Structure 1
């Protein structure tokens, strides 16, 4: 076991678990960019998914009974629909250009929400399906799935407990489907990565414990600010990754 990789993985998964426990999203958004610096791209994807499943199982247990089944199912269905055109577009378009587009969009929407310029959504079912569609689309093209749904739910002014629980269950369904697809396709080769996930489990549990404490100490306003901060960080990192890919 490479102790440097273990140390970096433990620190970044602690941070990713902490923020995703507080907000309900952002695990891969925070973990993946840093981990790609010490692991291969494919190993990073598999490792983040394995660790993400562990984190979400813990959070699903914690939020049982707090989420809305109709909201979770309709948003998750929209996400699955968005994966299809996203996977096709990835074959014909440059992923780095899509990352730049997503990064700019996230920064603009975050700025508008910070200025309280949010249009009222009258048809919430359509809004949730659309948010799920964009989440699945960008998940397939850039691996970034959380911000579209998070921004939409924030625009609904959904109460923080409900918002977090809904997102935890939506992204858990996505994680399980992704992991299952690896097994079906025969591309899952995660023996060492499973072992690494077990080594970093203490850091994950500590991040979850502190995140839970933080979540119940913050009010609705601070929750929204933290969620927007995570989206902002994701937008900057996604934009930077796309620009770096184009230049190199």
Structure 2
């Protein structure tokens, strides 16, 4: 019962962040889930929940999506998400957490410096490839994709809609690869995800209501805050595991 309560509380918080920014779910959920389950199991639960939310995301956001950018991001992720999943099954979890935290912080520093990312195929495919690698590695494709949209100065509604669908795509590819590479995907994981799903829906609903009240400037601040929080949580968990 304790584990279910922790899982539901973590999912509620992560769902709220997701509703506000369009990302941040796995960034917040995976470190919190790993307090009560193995890191690879935490990754799989986060991926299942993001896939489960995809139909609703598509119906609600399909008119706001940047289809060209989304297609290019997905093209990069399609190749590199399976590679990340292979690494996830073979590398030490705590070392991975530290690497992810470092990558998130580097992306955060670039965004705070207001680095501008030009429009074009190469930046989008590169961001998609990096996001896919992190998505397969730790269910955390957010930082490169978020940096891509914020760096282009994309409107908040377009960024949020595009990110939601991109993360569902990345999670689908990564989960399929993990299912082939390990035995972590089983009925027990599915039951855990099912138990957490109502909390995700409610948290996402609350976050979406707040998103509708945010201006572009406040949206950017919220996005940067989520990135910093995710880096801190992931890095702290990695250091604790290595000490």
TM over 0.5: yes
Are the aligned partners of 2:80 and 2:129 in contact in 1 as well (CA < 8 Å)? yes
Distance in structure 1 (CA, Å) of the matches to 2:91 and 2:236: 18
Q: Which residue of 1 aligns with 2:127?
A: 131
Are the aligned partners of 1:53 and 1:176 in contact in 2 as well (CA < 8 Å)? yes
Q: 1:63 to 1:98 in 2, by over 3 A?
A: same
2:208 is the alignment partner of 1:200: no
Q: Which residue of 2 aligns with 1:72?
A: 70
2:50 is the alignment partner of 1:52: yes
Which runs of no fewer than 5 residues in structure 1 stay unpaired? none
Are the aligned partners of 1:19 and 1:27 in contact in 2 as well (CA < 8 Å)? yes
Q: 1:106 to 1:175 in 2, by over 3 A?
A: closer
Deviations 1:216-248 (A, max 9, x none): 11110111111111111111123223333433x
2:176 is the alignment partner of 1:171: no
2:107 is the alignment partner of 1:109: yes
CA RMSD between the two structures: 2.7
Deviation at 1:118, TM superposition (A): 2.7
Deviation at 1:112, TM superposition (A): 4.3
Are the aligned partners of 2:4 and 2:195 in contact in 1 as well (CA < 8 Å)? yes
2:146 is the alignment partner of 1:150: yes
Q: 1:184 to 1:166 in 2, by over 3 A?
A: same
* Aligned with residue 28 of structure 1, among 23, 26, 29: 26
* Aligned with residue 216 of structure 1, among 212, 215, 221: 212
Q: Which residue of 1 aligns with 2:3?
A: 5
2:215 is the alignment partner of 1:233: no
2:239 is the alignment partner of 1:243: yes
Q: How does 1:81-120 map to 2 (within 5 A)?
A: 81-83=79-81, 86=84, 96-114=94-112, 117-120=113-116
Distance in structure 2 (CA, Å) of the matches to 1:171 and 1:87: 15
Distance in structure 2 (CA, Å) of the matches to 1:8 and 1:91: 25
* Aligned with residue 15 of structure 1, among 9, 13, 23: 13
Q: 1:178 to 1:136 in 2, by over 3 A?
A: closer
Deviation at 1:150, TM superposition (A): 0.6
Distance in structure 2 (CA, Å) of the matches to 1:144 and 1:185: 19
Deviation at 1:188, TM superposition (A): 6.2
Are the aligned partners of 2:97 and 2:238 in contact in 1 as well (CA < 8 Å)? yes
Deviation at 1:171, TM superposition (A): 0.9
Deviation at 1:20, TM superposition (A): 0.9
1:120 aligns to what SS in structure 2? coil
The structure with the largest alpha-carbon Rg is: 1
- TM-score (norm: length of structure 1): 0.84
Which runs of no fewer than 5 residues in structure 2 stay unpaired? none
Q: 1:206 to 1:95 in 2, by over 3 A?
A: closer
- TM-score (norm: length of structure 2): 0.86
